[in-house]
Structure 1
Amino acid sequence: MIQQLRIYEIFENNKAAFHARFRDHAARIMTGRYGFKFASMWETKFGDRTEFVYLLEWPDEATKTAQWAAFMADPEWAEIKRVTHAEHGPMVGQIEDRLLAQVDYSPARGRSLLLG
C-alpha cells in the first residue's frame, strides 16, 4: 500500500469554480471509474499562495500509474476541463505530486489511512 500526495496551486479569483469542478466532476470520475481512494482533502495557504491538497491511497505504484493515465485520457474529464477553462480561465497553477513511503517507525505502518 502506498500513499500519494497531490498539491495544486489554485487561484482566489476562481477558487469556488475550481472546488465545484473537483467536487462535482473530477472526484466523481476518479472514484467512480478509476478506483481512486481519497484519504482526505484540504485547502491551505502557503505564503500568498492558495493550495488544494489531497491524499490518495493505492495498492501499488503500477495501479497508481495506470489509473492516472486512464483518468487523464477520460473524454468526459477532457471536455469538463475545456468548458471550465473557457468559462473561468486557468484554474490550476503548479501541481506537485509526491509518492509517500512510510518509515519503519510510523504509527500507521502497513495500515490503510482511509477513514471508515
Structure 2
Amino acid sequence: MVYELRIYTPVPGRMPDLLRRFQQHTLGIWARLGICHAGFWRTHPKVDGDQLVYMLVWNTLEEREALWAAFVSDSEWIAAKQESEIPGPLVVNITSSLLASHLFSAVT
C-alpha cells in the first residue's frame, strides 16, 4: 500500500468554499473513479494555521499515477474547479507526500 498525505492551505476566508467543493464534487468523482481516502482533518487555525489535511490510499504507485491523471482530466472535476474558482483561487499551496509504512507501523 502507498499512502499519500496531502495538505491544502486555502486562500484566507476560502476554507468553507474548499470544504464545500470536496463535499459536493470531489468525493463523488473520486468514488466514481475508484480513488479511496483514509480520512480528512483540519489543522487548528490558532496553532498551525487553517489547513485541510487528508490521506489517500493507493495499491501501487502506478495506480496512483493512472487514477490521479483520470481525476485531473475528468470533465466533471474541471467544471467544478472552474466554477468554484470564479471569484478567485481556493488554495494558496498544496503539498503532497507519498508514504510507505515501516514494519512496526500499526497501519500497513
Say whether the fold is shared (TM-score over 0.5): yes
Q: Which runs of 5+ in 2 are unaligned?
A: none
CA RMSD of aligned residues (A): 1.6
Aligned length: 107
- The percentage of aligned residue pairs carrying the same residue is 33
Q: Distance in 2 between matches of 1:12 and 1:108?
A: 34
Corresponding position of 2:54: 54
Superposed structure 1 runs of 4+ greater than 2 Å apart: 45-49
Q: Is the 8 A contact 1:37 1:56 kept in 2?
A: yes
Corresponding position of 2:67: 67
Say if 2:101 is the partner of 1:102. yes
Secondary structure (helix, strand or coil) at the match of 2:20 reads helix
Deviations 1:53-81 (A, max 9, x none): 11111111100110000100011111111
Q: Is the 8 A contact 1:11 1:91 kept in 2?
A: yes
Change (3 A) 1:43 1:19: same
Q: Distance in 1 between matches of 2:68 and 2:9?
A: 19
Change (3 A) 1:60 1:85: same
Q: Distance in 2 between matches of 1:42 and 1:48?
A: 12
Corresponding position of 1:79: 79
